[in-house]
Amino acid sequence: MPASEDIKFMRRCIDLAAGAEGNTYPNPLVGSVIVSQGRITGEGFHVRAGEAHAERVAVNSVISRGLPEDSVLYTNLEPCVHHGKTPPCTDLIIETGIKRIVAGTIDTSDRVGGRGVAALRNAGCEVITGVLEEECRWLNRRFFTFHEKKRPYVILKWAESADSFLDVERDIYNGRRRPTWITGKPERVLVHRWRAAEQSVLVGAGTLRADDSLLNVRDWAGNDPLKLILSSSGRLDKDSGIFHTGGSVTVFTHDPEAAGGYPAVIVPLERGLSSAVQILSHLHDSGIQSLFIEGGAEVLGMFISGGLWDEARIFHGRAMFGKGIPAPEIKGKVISRREFSASSLEIILNEAETPAAGSGRMD
């Protein structure tokens, strides 16, 4: 059973790490604190790939004042042992003389996989692992899913009316219409925050035609995700806003010749094979750790029926549509509910697929 002091300082590591959400890909989210006589003397977190790792930032924050002999280093993820854009954190820790290290969870990627802990123990350090492990794995669920399941972490998002319709009936081929909003402004700001946290976002061609989806981050400060379109026919409108708002666009299609000429990367899909599996395989091979799926019904249903999802974020509106496009049916563990003036938000986990079925802050 972890000591209460270890739990307290591990929570601080998690809070620090979470501040860089969406900015560290392909690296995980890591925070670190250094403690002496029960007090934090230094701390830091990994801000973005290519910059100093959390342990180095924490050490540098205290080293100029002198590092007490009884210092303990806390980190939510096992320190790295490999040379990348920065030196191994294990070497730094050993050089400082810190003798006690508390890590929230083991890094299960091929480049680390317990070797960081082994290196520290071989150097005579006491290493404690498994402190708030579920919370630490939840924080880096995208990272763990990518390395353990060899696919991106998949988040589904949709809004449905009070009587379970995604949209009213409409002919999406006879000119565009403004979206039928089920949610209010606060929910839409939240969705933009979610986009900024993910590496890629996917919609089907039908949703693109109906709503002229831009799939960028406008109501939040953050990076635009890689924009993905699934179009079996490959026939899209070159005037769609998604092609003219900057950033990279990828089109997955069974007819790459029809999709030629768009300002996008065209990825051919094989007929007879699951499009969802092919998309996830392509993204994994491209180093993409997370996929945010915003519709439409067929695309959502394809990932749900294949069990290829980890998290669903569903807004339930107050209005009744009477008829329209039915919302997908999904089952899982409800971990969060939140009320807005125009809707309620429900977060569901696919327990069979999610690395750590813990609770997370979705606001």
Catalytic residues: 55
Token digits of residue 207: 């949703």
Closest to 127 measured CA to CA, from 94, 95, 82, 86 = 94
Strands 39-45, 31-36: pairing kind: antiparallel
Question: What distances in angstroms separate CA 326 from CA 278, 297, 351, one per listed residue?
Answer: 26, 8, 24
Token digits of residue 261: 């000429």
Its sign, for the CA torsion 214, 219, 225, 230, is negative
Strands 126-129, 153-160: pairing kind: unpaired
**Cα(70)–Cα(347) distance, integer angstroms:** 43
**Cα(284)–Cα(286) distance, integer angstroms:** 5
**Cα(55)–Cα(93) distance, integer angstroms:** 8
**Cα(183)–Cα(352) distance, integer angstroms:** 30
Q: Looking at this protein, which amino acid is placed at residue 274?
A: S
> Please, are residues 159 and 194 in contact by the beta-carbon 8 Å criterion?
no
**Cα(109)–Cα(209) distance, integer angstroms:** 40
**Cα(102)–Cα(226) distance, integer angstroms:** 36
